[in-house]
Amino acid sequence: MIKVFNCNNKNYLKKLQIFLDKRRFGKKTDHKIVSTIIKDVKKNKLKAVLKYEKKFTKNYEIKISLKKINKSIRSLDNKTKIAIDFAYNRILKFHSKQKLKNIFYKDNLGNKLENKYIPLESIGIYVPSNLPSTLMMNAIPAKIAKVRRIVLATPKFNGMLNPAVLYVAKKIGIKEIYSMGGVQAIASLAYIQKVNKVVGPGNIYVSKAKREIFGDVGIEGMIAGPSEITVVADDNTNIDHVATSLVGQAEHDTDSQSILITKNKKILNNINKKISYFLNKIPRKKIASISLKKNGLIILAKNDKQIIKLINKIAPEHLELNIKNRKEYLSKIINSGSICIGPYSPMAATDYNVGTNHVLPTFGSSKFSSGLNLNDFYKKISYITLSKKGIEVIGKQAITLAEYEKLIGHAQSIKSRIRRN
């Protein structure tokens, strides 16, 4: 079922890169579809959004009344509400510890330098229709950061808005809720609701749309696309844990990626049987099966050094290290969105109520970025107050550099502020 790469073969790293790039860059037509929808929404506003909603999801209502929202919330069972409240409190507690400190510095010349964190004025959150956990992961840090305006875009699921998503929205205090999804939702948040930043994960079309709107509005400092997992297993790893983690990731989306790395040939020989067994136990078997066939991979490595090299090259969204010598690995792994350590730390738990954020970098972007955190909902402003003595001392050296760079206007501006003898 799943492709196998043997690291004894020549050019295995090149083959791995081809495998990763095929998923990352997608079909050329994907870009055209995304660009066309975004241009249409920019030009024709809500008329265009409604056109695509009707076309893709048969949705005829974008702005939902408060009456309908409250009615939907009342239909949510108490057990789910309790589970959401539990997760909410853990996410709030962990993210509250990320509060950022302003910097103030005064030198011996009396110059004052400051860095202040300023909350963003507005954000748009994209939430796939059936994922209240994703709304918590995005909106709770925004609430802690005191973002003034939070706009929610979430598509309908089976023709209805998800009552659990709406329950979370009400709990957080989100007033603007729109029933829309896909590329048209991302474009609407940027060009109709006109938020300062758009956050939240989605499928490959949503990810491409967010890349395209970047520059007009902000997005997270990463690519939060179709989900990924890399599992490292050895002789001590429970093979059921491996199989359920791979299947659990694959059920997200047909574009999700599930990779197993092992030195153990016994796992290699048995894993497909286990995967088939657990696939038959889930309702989303068809989605997971397509995902595993298209984006699943088993890598047979020679040694620990090679495994670490592979992990850092893949730079996965999620990494599960359920191996005996995991402590030796941790200091050498530098590219991963999150790392689940030991037999009792399934990635699936981190999607809900552990407390860490599940909006993480995908497509190898953990090489240069981190998961969603409090910092994503602030901007920093530098404040500079130079003293009279300060500009005289600093200014002389600045003038030298300005003249060296042939920016005489800069030098002139500084000179005009220096006391003449």
Residues tagged active-site: 317-318
Q: How far apart are CA 322 and CA 262, in angstroms?
A: 11
Q: How far apart are CA 316 and CA 365, in angstroms?
A: 8
Where would I find the beta strands (DSSP E) of 38-172?
103-106, 112-119, 122-126, 149-153
Identify the burial level of 393 via C-beta atoms within 10 angstroms of its C-beta, where 0-12 means exposed, 13-18 middle and 19 or more buried. middle
* 4: β partners: 298
Neighbours of 241 (CB within 10 A): 17
Phi and psi at 297, nearest 5°, equal -155, 135
Q: Which two tokens stand for residue 124?
A: 């748009």
CA distances (Å), origin 258, targets 117, 130, 188, 314, 348: 38, 21, 32, 11, 13
- Strand duo 296-300 + 3-6: pairing: parallel
Q: Which two tokens stand for residue 408?
A: 């005489």
| Contact in structure between 154 and 181 (CB atoms under 8 Å) | yes
Q: Which two tokens stand for residue 301?
A: 């490595």
CA distances (Å), origin 416, targets 112, 392, 396, 401, 421: 20, 11, 12, 16, 13
Amino acid at the residue 332: K
Q: How far apart are CA 105 and CA 110, in angstroms?
A: 10
Phi and psi at 132, nearest 5°, equal -60, -30
| Contact in structure between 61 and 337 (CB atoms under 8 Å) | no
Helical H segments across 315-418, by residue range: 326-330, 347-350, 388-404, 408-415
| Contact in structure between 400 and 263 (CB atoms under 8 Å) | no
* 384: β partners: 113
Amino acid at the residue 220: E
Neighbours of 311 (CB within 10 A): 23
Phi and psi at 263, nearest 5°, equal -100, -10
